[in-house]
């Protein structure tokens, strides 16, 4: 997941982000889960409090200088090497209104660190502002005057993360693969692409191409599995829909940040590539599967 969240943030973190508190917390939690460091500055009003917040949250070394120059140096080139560093600054408008000089200094340091990390191609340095109010003119002016005008928002994510590809397949639960093929293959004329025994999932599956998508038949081979319980409770029929995505790990990270409940938090091996499932609770009662398009990063990491 580290590469997934880092790639997402690298795609949007060319200026401070302006988010509500809930989105900021989700993004910070995802960064922590990926091994990143998070500093939370809760309405600081003076230089000493600001410096302490950065030092505690980003684990600055004991020898650091506790001044603006030292802060700038450690944000651009952390002592432990560039990592994924996130700063959540609550209510920055309070400081901007009370002490314009301190605000201008620290804002320039933050923007410079973002640009320098980006230029170096290292893991991103991300600054998130929360709690901005319509009257926070000094903060808004700073954002508009940055090298990249205006606050960056999560809807600026790369399209490969936000958009789904084709419907890869629609899955149907069946009691007997061979009996089902009499209908789908022999009567409807769909070709059989493959029949596979999935030991991990304790099922047998068959794929039948139709247009750019496929029909998947799923037969449980173990009565204790979720698929077997589905069959026992609901009978044969529709089970899930699967969409193709370019980068599965990045997509899962983004969906998790959006509050989608994941069944699989990372790609795993499926019959036709790396896959992961989203919980029906977050998908209006529909079980949704995602599969990575051929050649994506998870194909190599999972040994396809």
Contact 272, 300 (CB under 8 A): no
What is the C-alpha separation between 179 and 280, in angstroms, rounded?
A: 29
Structural domains in the chain, sorted by start? 2-157 (3.30.370.10), 161-301 (3.10.180.10)
What is the C-alpha separation between 133 and 140, in angstroms, rounded?
A: 10
What is the pLDDT, as a whole number, of residue 62? 87
What pLDDT digit, counting tens, does each position of 37-66 carry? Answer: 899 999 999 999 999 999 999 999 888 888
Residue 163 pLDDT > 80: no
Contact 139, 92 (CB under 8 A): yes
Beta bridge partners of 196: 205
Band the pLDDT of 140: cuts 50, 70, 90.
Answer: low
Contact 97, 138 (CB under 8 A): yes
Decide: residue 223, CB within 10 A, 0-12 exposed, 13-18 middle, 19+ buried. exposed
Higher pLDDT, 136 or 3: 136
Band the pLDDT of 117: cuts 50, 70, 90.
Answer: confident
What is the C-alpha separation between 240 and 16, in angstroms, rounded?
A: 39
Higher pLDDT, 159 or 304: 304
Give the CA count within 13 Å in the CB-facing half-sphere of 249: 20
User: In this structure, what token pair is assigned to residue 186?
Assistant: 């022999």
Higher pLDDT, 258 or 276: 276
Residue holding tokens 């899955």?
Answer: 171
What pLDDT digit, counting tens, does each position of 171-225 carry? Answer: 999 999 999 999 999 999 999 999 999 998 899 999 999 999 999 999 999 999 9
């Amino acid at each position: 997941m580290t590469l997934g969240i880092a790639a997402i943030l690298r795609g949007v973190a060319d200026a401070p982000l302006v988010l509500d508190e809930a989105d900021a917390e989700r993004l910070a939690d995802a960064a922590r889960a990926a091994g990143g460091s998070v500093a939370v500055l809760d309405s600081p009003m003076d230089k000493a409090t600001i410096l302490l917040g950065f030092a505690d949250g980003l684990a600055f070394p004991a020898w650091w200088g506790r001044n603006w120059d030292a802060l700038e140096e450690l944000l651009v080139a952390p002592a432990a090497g560039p990592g994924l560093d996130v700063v959540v600054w609550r209510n920055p408008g309070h400081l901007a209104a009370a002490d314009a000089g301190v605000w201008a200094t620290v804002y320039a340091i933050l923007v410079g660190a973002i640009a320098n990390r980006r230029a170096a191609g290292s893991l991103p340095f991300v600054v998130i502002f929360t709690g901005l109010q319509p009257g926070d003119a000094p903060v808004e002016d700073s954002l508009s005057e940055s090298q990249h005008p205006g606050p960056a928002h999560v809807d600026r994510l790369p399209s490969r993360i936000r958009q789904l590809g084709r419907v890869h397949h629609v899955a149907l639960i069946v009691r007997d693969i061979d009996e089902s093929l009499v209908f789908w293959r022999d009567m409807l004329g769909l070709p059989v692409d493959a029949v596979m025994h999935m030991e991990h999932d304790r099922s047998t599956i068959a794929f039948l191409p139709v247009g750019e998508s496929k029909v998947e038949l799923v037969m449980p081979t173990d009565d204790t599995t979720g698929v077997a319980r589905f069959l026992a409770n609901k009978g044969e029929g529709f089970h899930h829909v699967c969409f193709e995505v370019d980068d599965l790990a990045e997509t899962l990270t983004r969906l998790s940040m959006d509050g989608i409940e994941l069944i699989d938090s990372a790609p795993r091996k499926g019959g036709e590539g790396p896959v992961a499932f989203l919980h029906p609770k977050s998908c209006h009662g529909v079980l949704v599967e995602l599969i990575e398009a051929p050649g994506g990063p998870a194909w190599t990491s999972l040994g396809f």
